[in-house]
C-alpha cells in the first residue's frame, strides 16, 4: 500500500526497541542514583543485549535504516564535539609576545599543546610495547587511537564540581580540546594516506579547511543584525530557521567530505561544529538547546546503542590465551600515556591534583570508537582490537571520573556561587538563568517531595533548612557569595535574613517583601529588598517603550552579555578611555564613580574604584577585565 509514493511497509519494531532503550536508560540510572556514570556506557551494554535477543531477526533493509540513523548520530556527535570547543578561549590564549617559562606554565593553550605532544610520544612507545604482545598491522594508527580524549566526559565532571571556570579546569578543558582537534586532523590525513597512498589528492583535504575559512569570513562580513531579525521572525515551531540553517551547514561539510573520501567525514562534521562555535554563545543559546535535544534526544543514542548491537564479542577469539594480558597491557598504556604527561601541571597545582587530572584525561568514548571503526574498515586494525578498544573505552569512562574524584577530594561548593533559599518557581527560574549566564547556583530546599522533584530535573539542589546556620557552613559560604532568600513567606524570609546577618555575618543578601512591614524589617537588616510591584511595572514599561532593547538584553543570550567590572589596576589610573586598546567586541556603556553615573566617552578619565558596566562577548569581556583589573 502506498500513498503519494510513501511506503507503509517499513518495520518499526527494531527502531522501537532502540528508542525504548534510549528512553529507559536515563530513567534507570536516575532511579538507581548512578548519574555519575555516563549513560552511553549503559546504552552500549543494553544495545549488545538487545542485539542478541530482539534484533537478530531484523531484515537487512531495517538494519540498513538503523545503520543510517546511527551514522547520522555519529556525524551529529562529531559536530557537537566541534561545537563544544570554546574557540574564543583558544584564540585569547595565543601568546602575542615572548614568554618566560613561568608564563608558559600558566598558559592553557601552550601547556595543552605540550601535553598532547608528550601524550603522542608516549603513545608511540606504548604501541611498540603492545606490538610485542600482539602483531599490530599499523603501529602509527594504533598510537593515534590511544591519544584521543573525551571532552564530553571531562566537561560534565568538571561542571558538576564547579571547576570549569577555575584555572585547573580551564587547563584540562583546553588540553582535551587540543587533543580532539589535532587527533581528528591526524586521523583524517593518516586514513587518507592508508587508503589512497601519499598522492597529490591529499591536498583536497586542505580544500576543506579553505571552505571552513571562506564560511568563516562570510559569517563575519554578512549583516548579522539582518539575519538575527529574520531568524527571530521565523523561529516559531513551523519554521525553526536557525535549526534548519545549522543542519544545512552540517550537510554542506559532510557532503564536501564525502566527495573527498569516507574517512574525511569525521573531520568535516567536526569543522562544521567548530565553525558554528565562532558565532554561537553555547551556554546561553536557545539553538544549542535545540541541537542538544535533537542530537542527544534521538540520533546520538541510536549511534551508541548500535555500537552495542554490532559489538562482536567473538572477535576476542583471535587472541586465544593472550586476551587478558593484551587487555591489561593496553589498559595500562591507555592510562599511562595520559597520566605521565600530567606532571606538567604539578608545579602549578601540586602532584596529587595533577595526577587526578591525568586520570580524568584518560576517559575516552566517541572519538576512540569512531577511530577504531575507521581503522577496522581500512584493515589496519583487526576485529579483535576494535572490540578491545570499545570495551576499554567503556572501562576508562567508568573508572576515570571515579579515580579523579578519589584522588582529588570533592569540593563542589568551593567556588563563587549564588545560594537560593527556597525552591519556589522564582528560585528555580533564577537558578536556570544563572546557569545560562555561566554562574554557579545552588538551591536550599527542606521539603522532601520538592527536593526530589528538583533533583530529578538535574537542578543543583541541597536538602536542608534555611534556618540552620550549619547548612551555610556546609556550602562554604564566602563574603563574595550572594544569598537570595525567597521562601514564599515574608515572616520566614525576615527570619532567615536575620540569621544570615547576625549569626553568619553575611552582607550580600537579596530578598523579596510582600508588604511594607516586612520591607521595613529587611531594610533594617541592610538586606537588598526587591519590590515585586516595581519590577513588574518596570518590565511592562520596557516592553511598551523599548521592546527591542528589552528583548535583546533579557530574552537573547546568543552572543553577548553585560557585566560590572571594578577598576583595580593601578597602571590605568588617570588614563583616558581612548588610551587603552579595548577589544573591538566590547563597549563600555556606563561608569559609576562616587555614586554618580554617567555615559563614558573617549576623553573620560579612569580612576581606581570606578564601576564599569560593559557589554560584549565573553572573550571581549575577559580582555577588558584583564586590562582594568590585572
| pLDDT (tens digit per residue) in 61-80 | 888 888 899 889 888 888 88
pLDDT for the residue 556: 47
Q: Is residue 412 part of a domain?
A: no
Q: Among the listed ranges 154-163, 174-183, 327-336, which one has the minimum average pLDDT value?
A: 154-163
Query: What is the spatial distance between Cα 288 and Cα 133, in angstroms, rounded to a whole number?
Result: 45
Task: Among 506, 538, 570, identify where a domain stops.
Answer: 538
Tens digits of per-residue pLDDT, 286-310? Answer: 677 778 788 888 888 898 888 888 8
As beta bridge partners, residue 418 has 441, 482
Identify whether residues 314 and 284 lie together within a single domain: yes
Q: Is residue 553 part of a domain?
A: no
**Is residue 573's pLDDT more than 70?**
yes
**Is residue 359's pLDDT more than 70?**
yes
Identify whether residues 347 and 210 lie together within a single domain: yes
Identify whether residues 504 and 621 lie together within a single domain: no
pLDDT for the residue 284: 45
pLDDT for the residue 119: 93
Question: Is the Cβ–Cβ distance between 484 and 427 less than 8 Å?
Answer: yes
Q: Is residue 48 part of a domain?
A: yes
Region 263-277: mean pLDDT is: 83
What lies within 8 Å, CB to CB, of 503 at 6+ separation is 469
Mean pLDDT (the chain, rounded): 79
Q: Is residue 555 part of a domain?
A: no
**Is residue 229's pLDDT more than 60?**
no
* More confident call, 502 vs 616: 502
Confidence of residue 134 (pLDDT cuts 50, 70, 90): confident
Query: What is the spatial distance between Cα 468 and Cα 481, in angstroms, rounded to a whole number?
Result: 18
Q: Is residue 549 part of a domain?
A: no
**Is residue 122's pLDDT more than 90?**
yes
Residue for cell digits 546561553?
Answer: 284
Q: What is the pTM of this model?
A: 0.63
Identify whether residues 121 and 231 lie together within a single domain: yes
pLDDT for the residue 38: 72
Identify whether residues 281 and 255 lie together within a single domain: yes
**Is residue 230's pLDDT more than 90?**
no
Identify whether residues 238 and 350 lie together within a single domain: yes
Q: Among the listed ranges 238-242, 259-263, 477-481, which one has the minimum average pLDDT value?
A: 238-242
Task: Among 407, 433, 463, identify where a domain stops.
Answer: 407
Using only C-alpha atoms, what is the Rg of the chain?
27
Q: Among the listed ranges 133-137, 372-376, 437-441, which one has the minimum average pLDDT value?
A: 437-441
Query: What is the spatial distance between Cα 92 and Cα 71, in angstroms, rounded to a whole number?
Result: 34
Identify whether residues 341 and 427 lie together within a single domain: no
Q: Are strands 586-593 and 596-598 parallel, antiparallel or unpaired?
A: antiparallel
pLDDT for the residue 546: 66
Burial 380-398 (b: 16+ CB within 10 A, else e): bbbebbbbbbbbbbbbbbe
C-alpha cell at 181: 582537534
**Is residue 117's pLDDT more than 90?**
yes
**Is residue 234's pLDDT more than 50?**
no
Residue 231 has, within 13 A of its CA and on its CB side, a CA count of 15
Q: How far is CA 177 from the centre of its chain?
A: 11
Q: Are strands 2-3 and 461-463 parallel, antiparallel or unpaired?
A: unpaired
Confidence of residue 175 (pLDDT cuts 50, 70, 90): confident
Q: Is residue 552 part of a domain?
A: no
Identify whether residues 381 and 245 lie together within a single domain: yes
Task: Among 384, 407, 430, identify where a domain stops.
Answer: 407
Identify whether residues 205 and 261 lie together within a single domain: yes
Confidence of residue 415 (pLDDT cuts 50, 70, 90): low
CATH assignment of the domain containing 113: 1.20.1530.20
Q: Is residue 335 part of a domain?
A: yes
C-alpha cell at 22: 534510549
Question: Is the Cβ–Cβ distance between 152 and 176 less than 8 Å?
Answer: no
Which residues form the domain of 190? 2-407
Region 413-426: mean pLDDT is: 78
198-207, 453-462, 486-495 — most confident range: 486-495
Region 368-394: mean pLDDT is: 85
* Strand, coil or helix: 11: coil
Identify whether residues 205 and 346 lie together within a single domain: yes
CATH assignment of the domain containing 488: 3.40.50.720
Tens digits of per-residue pLDDT, 421-462? Answer: 987 777 787 887 777 666 778 888 888 888 887 877 667 888
Instruction: Give the number of domains in the chain.
Output: 3
* More confident call, 317 vs 68: 68
Question: Is the Cβ–Cβ distance between 470 and 499 less than 8 Å?
Answer: no
pLDDT for the residue 225: 46
**Is residue 100's pLDDT more than 50?**
yes
pLDDT for the residue 223: 47
Q: Among the listed ranges 233-242, 353-362, 375-384, 562-571, which one has the minimum average pLDDT value?
A: 233-242
User: How many angstroms separate the most distant Cα atoms in the chain?
Assistant: 82
CATH assignment of the domain containing 625: 3.30.70.1450
Q: Is residue 544 part of a domain?
A: no
Identify whether residues 352 and 323 lie together within a single domain: yes
Identify whether residues 235 and 356 lie together within a single domain: yes
Region 583-607: mean pLDDT is: 78
Region 37-54: mean pLDDT is: 84
**Is residue 610's pLDDT more than 60?**
yes
110-124, 239-253, 301-315, 366-380 — most confident range: 110-124
Amino acid at each position: 500500500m502506498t500513498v503519494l509514493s510513501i511506503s507503509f511497509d517499513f518495520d518499526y519494531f527494531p527502531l522501537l526497541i532502540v528508542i525504548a532503550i534510549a528512553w529507559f536508560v536515563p530513567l534507570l540510572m536516575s532511579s538507581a542514583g548512578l548519574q555519575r556514570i555516563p549513560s552511553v556506557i549503559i546504552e552500549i551494554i543494553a544495545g549488545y543485549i538487545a542485539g542478541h535477543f530482539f534484533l537478530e531477526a531484523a531484515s537487512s533493509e531495517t538494519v540498513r535504516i538503523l545503520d543510517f540513523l546511527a551514522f547520522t548520530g555519529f556525524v551529529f556527535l562529531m559536530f557537537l564535539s566541534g561545537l563544544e570547543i570554546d574557540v574564543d578561549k583558544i584564540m585569547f590564549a595565543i601568546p602575542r609576545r615572548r614568554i618566560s617559562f613561568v608564563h608558559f606554565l600558566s598558559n592553557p593553550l601552550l601547556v595543552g599543546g605540550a601535553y598532547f605532544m608528550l601524550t603522542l610520544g608516549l603513545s608511540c612507545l606504548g604501541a611498540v610495547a603492545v606490538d610485542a604482545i600482539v602483531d599490530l598491522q599499523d603501529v602509527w594508527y594504533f598510537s593515534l587511537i590511544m591519544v584521543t580524549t573525551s571532552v564530553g566526559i571531562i566537561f560534565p565532571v568538571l561542571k558538576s564540581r564547579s571547576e570549569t571556570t577555575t584555572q585547573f579546569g580551564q587547563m584540562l578543558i583546553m588540553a582535551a580540546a587540543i587533543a580532539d582537534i589535532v587527533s581528528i586532523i591526524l586521523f583524517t590525513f593518516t586514513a587518507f594516506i592508508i587508503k589512497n597512498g601519499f598522492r597529490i589528492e591529499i591536498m583536497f583535504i586542505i580544500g576543506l579547511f579553505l571552505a571552513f575559512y571562506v564560511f568563516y569570513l562570510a559569517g563575519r562580513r554578512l549583516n548579522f543584525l539582518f539575519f538575527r531579525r529574520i531568524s527571530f521572525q521565523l523561529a516559531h515551531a513551523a519554521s525553526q530557521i536557525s535549526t534548519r540553517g545549522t543542519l544545512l551547514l552540517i550537510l554542506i561539510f559532510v557532503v564536501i567530505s564525502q566527495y573527498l573520501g569516507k574517512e574525511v567525514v569525521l573531520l568535516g562534521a567536526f569543522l562544521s561544529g567548530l565553525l558554528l562555535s565562532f558565532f554561537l554563545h553555547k551556554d546561553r543559546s536557545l539553538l544549542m538547546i535545540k541541537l542538544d535535544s535533537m542530537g542527544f534526544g534521538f540520533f546520538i543514542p541510536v549511534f551508541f546503542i548500535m555500537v552495542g548491537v554490532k559489538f562482536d564479542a567473538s572477535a576476542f577469539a583471535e587472541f586465544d590465551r593472550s586476551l587478558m594480558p593484551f587487555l591489561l597491557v593496553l589498559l595500562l598504556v591507555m592510562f599511562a600515556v595520559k597520566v605521565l604527561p600530567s606532571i606538567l601541571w604539578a608545579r602549578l597545582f601540586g602532584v596529587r591534583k595533577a595526577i587526578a587530572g591525568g586520570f580524568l584525561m584518560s576517559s575516552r568514548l566517541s572519538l576512540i570508537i569512531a577511530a577504531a571503526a575507521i581503522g577496522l574498515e581500512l584493515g589496519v586494525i583487526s576485529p579483535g582490537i576494535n572490540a578491545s578498544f570499545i570495551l576499554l573505552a567503556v572501562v576508562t569512562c567508568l573508572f576515570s571520573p571515579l579515580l579523579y574524584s578519589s584522588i582529588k577530594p570533592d569540593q563542589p561548593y568551593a567556588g563563587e556561587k549564588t545560594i537560593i533559599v527556597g525552591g519556589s518557581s522564582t528560585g528555580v527560574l533564577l537558578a536556570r538563568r544563572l546557569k545560562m549566564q555561566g554562574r554557579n547556583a545552588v538551591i536550599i530546599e527542606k521539603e522532601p517531595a520538592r527536593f526530589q522533584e528538583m533533583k530529578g530535573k538535574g537542578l543543583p539542589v541541597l536538602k536542608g533548612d534555611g534556618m540552620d546556620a550549619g547548612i551555610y557552613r556546609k556550602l562554604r559560604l564566602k563574603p563574595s557569595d550572594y544569598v537570595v532568600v525567597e521562601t514564599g513567606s515574608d515572616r520566614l524570609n525576615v527570619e532567615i535574613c536575620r540569621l544570615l546577618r547576625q549569626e553568619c555575618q553575611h552582607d550580600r543578601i537579596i530578598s523579596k517583601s510582600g508588604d511594607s512591614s516586612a520591607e521595613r524589617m529587611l531594610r533594617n537588616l541592610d538586606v537588598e529588598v526587591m519590590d515585586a510591584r516595581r519590577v513588574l511595572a518596570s518590565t511592562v514599561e520596557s516592553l511598551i517603550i523599548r521592546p527591542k532593547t528589552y528583548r535583546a538584553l533579557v530574552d537573547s543570550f546568543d552572543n553577548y552579555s553585560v557585566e560590572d567590572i571594578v577598576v583595580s589596576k593601578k597602571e590605568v589610573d588617570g588614563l583616558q578611555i581612548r588610551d587603552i586598546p579595548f577589544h573591538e567586541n566590547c563597549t563600555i556603556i556606563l561608569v559609576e564613580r562616587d555614586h554618580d553615573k554617567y555615559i563614558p566617552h573617549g576623553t573620560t578619565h579612569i580612576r581606581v574604584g570606578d564601576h564599569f558596566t560593559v557589554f560584549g562577548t565573553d572573550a571581549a569581556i575577559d580582555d577588558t577585565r584583564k586590562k582594568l583589573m590585572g
